[in-house]
Structure 1
Amino acid sequence: MKKSWVGAAAMLAATGMLAGCASQSGSGTSGGTGSSGPVTLTFWHGYTEADGDVLQEIIEEFNDSQDEVTIETEVKTWAVIDETLLTSLSAGNGPQIVAMPAERLPVYADKKALTPLDEFYSGDENAASIPDAAAEMEIVDGVHYGVPTGFVPLSVFYNKALFDEAGIEEFPATWDEWVAAAKELTIDEDGDGTPEQYGLALADHATVGNGVWPSLFFGNGGDIVQDGTSVINSPENVETLEYWAQAVREDKISPTGLSGIDTDELYSSGKAAMTIGGPWMSFISADNNIDYGIAGIPAGPAGEASAAIGVSMAVTAQAEENEAAAAQEFFSYFFSPDVAAKWSLGSGWPPLSDEVAAEQVAENPVVASLTEIAPSSRPLLPGVVNSSDVLAAMDEATQKALAGEDPGQLLEQADQAISSALQN
């Protein structure tokens, strides 16, 4: 999977309320009881790599499995979905089902563009098998507005050959061990102060799904938003930012000023021994002939923790009652154990059904590793409507802190920006 969907947090082109959308006719052909044909649903999604191929297979198999519902897919980039969904729904020519990065779900729920799915969660046998943490990211103001198609913990991908050269036999378990290993893996042969090889590629802004720094904050007992209130300016978060700023600036374990894309490039070129990412890093590693390992983010003072990246699938408000019911039939099929296993193994994401057998998970080493890490992960800013503004304020603080500015003052400024965003 490419990382293109992860950063799909562009602001919506259309920001008005989607008034009256639920009463408009859907673009699909209504069918079902008393009709001449099946209910036809349009499904927008942005899966374009191997995950897109397996999703299409699942949809075709669903279509062939019964004669009441037909799903037709339209593949777009995540950014295009974000830019055009509201205007398409307002014009009555949008989809009945749409997938999107999970951090965008609250935005559309707030604009009344999505249909509540609480009845699906309470009444469908397969919905009951969705892991709690994955289901939590679908809740906005106490209501489920989507189902997960992906929920994966951020993890550390590391270059085994560079670890062997440094004589490091075991992956570090704590922050202090992690920094110590990164120092051993950092090489400045000519002594000019700019290493030829870094122990860690640590992004300080525009990170993968913006989840790197929340993962570090979580590991020290911190958070960003709790119960609708900014808590970014906590003593724990100040301590975390000071700790990692020192490791980067003084120990030079990572360059400063890296974005998430920069870290991928540094790691894939063999100039960094470790980076933080998701399952797409397995493809990047293989493409660059890197013998890689996957490990959970080492435990901070408060324990192991990581932010999870998610993708959601939702029923739009354009769907008529029978179309919404048909969409939920597909969701039930999607979360059945065999289909959930097929999706997991084909996409590289941990399974989204607790009923998937361990021996099936073991068929894919990447899935097996990420599944083992998943219990310590948590959704990023679930239910927060203005999550893009919240994460932008965090980004500014982390980038400036690693450049040398005072973490306490920066987090105080971020707190003010986040509090303002939460009130809007």
Structure 2
Amino acid sequence: MRTPALLMTAVLIAAAVVACGSGDSGAVTLWMYPVITDQARSVAFWHRVETGFERESGIDLDVELQPWASRQEKLGAALVAGTGPDVVLLQPDMIPQYVGENVLLPVTDVLAGGRRPFPPRVVEALTVDGQAYGVPLYRTVTTTVYNRKLFAEAGITDLPRTWDEVEAAAPKLAAHGIPVLDYAGSTEETLNLTFYPLLWQAGGRVFTPDGRKSAFASPEGVAALRFLADLEKVHGLPPDAATKRTAVAGDAVATGRAAMAHAMTESAARGVIAAFGAQNVAIGLPLRGRSRVTFGTPGGLSLLRRAKNPDAARKLLAYLMSPSVVGELCAESGYFPPWDGSSPPADQVDRDFAQALPFASAGDNHPQARKVMGLLAPHVQAALLGRATPEQALADAAGEADALLGSGR
């Protein structure tokens, strides 16, 4: 077990050097990420987890706190080198890829032994071919957040709840020099928080139901990208929308440089409230296009096939999914527990975000999800830059994606 001082050192250097864990066959190594954003609180929580699990099981636990940046590349390199963790936090759209590469072991038996059943939609997001490959720890959800003050200054009293209403509000806000909608179009951004919620709201999807081809170049996909392109033309997006990154400090809505966001996290919403006051901020349901839907996902712990001691690792998974550990993790992180109605929301912001949970989607469960996202992102950006029409941008991306899917790689 690491000492708190050593854990803090690992966090501060962003885990640049990947540790291999203990050589003891009874030891377990867990790679965890900044679910708890405050470093000191994260270190303290995982130290409590280490000591609690070791006391209960007699198994040595080594928690490696890793950065979000380049997480797939680092995990892939560790797997090739035969190092890395026994248990790792994965998002649902990462799991099918690793299952296809025979990297993960199923954990359906661990879930079956839990003290509290998980909602089917949570388990399904972590399931491939009828087997669960992730133990849910928490749920996230994004939703629409408004700066009431900016809308009021533009003479808009009814906040836009649909695409049509957003488009109608755009020129009025633009006349005051304010984009109606924040958007981060950098190709380094995850489309889960940018284009995909709009695609889903239009009634579209990323892959065909059989998973053999892409589906985003459909009329629904074109409608989603045209919605953005049309806003861009009337100055309804930030001037640098096509290339900008999401920024915790200097968020466009929090700094008054955009009137609303369509897929904001709860922590970011709290930043807007801190900047403008609760009376000037509204948190609504996800926008409605043809459908009302947003991005939200369970975070799950997966068991690697290369685990030194799978039985010890399964004991760790069972320990971590206990209501007491999950409850404390969610309280520290601000995320929602994976169980429905498991605890009352902490405050009004929590209550507002909880109302969006029924509309949350983790996206298409496909082994090429991340690769296709990487292919699509530059084409979405090209449409925002005016270098391609929405139709041409998505058609070009579909050609690349379908070639990838057809290759079987």
TM interval, shorter chain, is 0.7 to 0.9
Amino acid across the alignment from 2:24: T
Q: How far apart are residue 127 of structure 1 and its match? A: 6.3
Aligned to 1:375: 358
Find out whether 1:146 has 2:134 as its counterpart: yes
The unaligned stretches of length 5 or more in structure 1 are: 1-24, 31-38, 189-194
The counterpart of 1:245, out of the listed 229, 242, 249, is 229
Find out whether 1:221 has 2:203 as its counterpart: yes
Cα deviation code 1:399-418 (max 9, x no counterpart): 22223322112211111111
Query: Within 1, Cα distance between the matches of 2:64 and 2:403?
Result: 37
Find out whether 1:234 has 2:210 as its counterpart: no
Q: How far apart are residue 267 of structure 1 and its match? A: 2.5
Find out whether 1:356 has 2:372 as its counterpart: no
Q: How far apart are residue 92 of structure 1 and its match? A: 4.5
Find out whether 1:385 has 2:367 as its counterpart: yes
The counterpart of 1:420, out of the listed 398, 403, 409, is 403
Find out whether 1:132 has 2:114 as its counterpart: no
Query: Within 2, Cα distance between the matches of 1:43 and 1:182?
Result: 47
Query: Within 2, Cα distance between the matches of 1:168 and 1:55?
Result: 45
Query: Within 2, Cα distance between the matches of 1:334 and 1:353?
Result: 14
Aligned to 2:267: 280
Q: Which secondary structure state, in structure 2, belongs to the residue aligned with residue 319 of structure 1?
A: coil
Query: Within 1, Cα distance between the matches of 2:48 and 2:156?
Result: 43
Q: How far apart are residue 295 of structure 1 and its match? A: 2.2
Cα gap change, 1:132 to 1:52, in 2 (>3 Å): farther
Cα gap change, 1:341 to 1:368, in 2 (>3 Å): farther
Aligned to 2:4: none
Query: Within 2, Cα distance between the matches of 1:206 and 1:309?
Result: 21
Amino acid across the alignment from 1:277: M
Q: How far apart are residue 76 of structure 1 and its match? A: 1.7
Find out whether 1:155 has 2:158 as its counterpart: no
Residues 152 and 370 in structure 1, CA contact (< 8 A), matched pair in contact too: no
Aligned to 2:9: none
Q: Which secondary structure state, in structure 2, belongs to the residue aligned with residue 350 of structure 1?
A: coil
1:282-321 alignment runs, 5 A limit: 282-285=269-272, 288=275, 291=278, 292-301=281-290, 303-320=291-308
Cα gap change, 1:181 to 1:418, in 2 (>3 Å): same
Residues 31 and 65 in structure 2, CA contact (< 8 A), matched pair in contact too: yes
The unaligned stretches of length 5 or more in structure 2 are: 1-19
Q: How far apart are residue 283 of structure 1 and its match? A: 5.0
Cα gap change, 1:133 to 1:366, in 2 (>3 Å): farther
1:98-177 alignment runs, 5 A limit: 98-121=88-111, 123-126=112-115, 128-129=117-118, 131-177=119-165
Amino acid across the alignment from 1:224: V
Q: How far apart are residue 296 of structure 1 and its match? A: 2.6
Residue-pair matches, total: 376
Q: Which secondary structure state, in structure 2, belongs to the residue aligned with residue 293 of structure 1?
A: strand
Cα deviation code 1:81-104 (max 9, x no counterpart): 433334434554422111234433
Q: Which secondary structure state, in structure 1, belongs to the residue aligned with residue 253 of structure 2?
A: helix
Cα gap change, 1:392 to 1:318, in 2 (>3 Å): closer
Find out whether 1:401 has 2:369 as its counterpart: no
Query: Within 1, Cα distance between the matches of 2:349 and 2:337?
Result: 12
Aligned to 2:183: 202
Q: How far apart are residue 46 of structure 1 and its match? A: 1.8
Amino acid across the alignment from 1:261: T
Residues 26 and 318 in structure 1, CA contact (< 8 A), matched pair in contact too: no
Q: Which secondary structure state, in structure 2, belongs to the residue aligned with residue 267 of structure 1?
A: coil
